[in-house]
Structure 1
């Protein structure tokens, strides 16, 4: 991973590391708003409908369903910005940034092909990723709480952050492994001419066979696990901290027999 950074800087300069930063920041901020907020709302509503005991018993399906639903909505907003980011990264001369790239893509390719040709693979990547992320984080945080002998309501602020960071790393690595093949396909399909002509499904099929198992499943997996593990840990720590600072409390499933 360090060698890759060095090569990029040597060949293209330090500025290459910031290529596509605009759509990345905007896109993932919007996505995070709908994703984290959506999961929290759905968990609360599901518990209100099912009751505390049944919600505890079915917490895994609730995590998975909430994550999948929230991610789908978030990806409707993320996909155009992700397509723009990939275009800027793959061809730095395409446009100066987000503001100039969006109208150019719209004018040349239209809404569907320009911004949503990668919608199917982004769902294929992001939905399993988010399902694993929230389900594993919730399960890991629960087990860490049992190990230290404290419920979330009994933990100090510092302990809560520590639990968030630890469970976030575990969740991030799991999510990175699950979503890696689809992420590789997504990066390919958004490049102009990739996968030949035809529908998105046809192009994805062509790319799948062209790339092969190793390139899709293993290439870049190590750095991805490090990056996503660190990012996810930070996300949950920041999310929980902001919730505490604003006087809100993160919803936790409660074991009625504990």
Structure 2
């Protein structure tokens, strides 16, 4: 299945149409067509250098692109200014490196966006922050600073910070790749719970177990192209393309 449409019955929320991006002579995104439906969990996998992270970063314009279009909830991606800031409030992002403000407490990291960008009252932002920190299992760390937390805890705070903005979609760019192995599952468990709650998610990851468990759809990229997309069951048991079968043979045998 290489159809770019969102799953049946889902309203299209993020639509990429013929998106192209170059880094110098390197054509990193080649005519990307991809539609992500509301409430859908799309996991993007593929070899290093396939364009996965670039794809993720173009959706909230951390990377520019040269041609094609991206719409979020029916509106074209703004290029700059207030409109772009508004878009970024609607599109959460969780990075490899947690990107927390080192000089602010965990609670302050989570309340900052809602207060400054959304205009939420401080008391309400505080209440919601504690609710979200509870949800990701770090409420007892609310008054500590990022450096006092483990990597897994910091990444869970980063997820809570994204959720505090009530985003329409959250992008995850290899959220566990900087973590020690024993911390990976605590972050994936939070992401799995989030997926089950109906959050729209685009997840770039090497964690195949998460893809099998939580994805509605697996998108396989190689050499800047979407080579194949299917349900996890179809993809992992019966990949159609040679490229995907080679990739799976390499990663699933180790």
Q: Which has the larger radius of gyration?
A: 1
Which is richer in strand?
2
Structure of higher RCO (CA pairs closer than 8 Å, 6+ residues apart): 2
TM over 0.5: no
Higher helix share: 1
Q: TM-score, normalised by structure 1?
A: 0.29
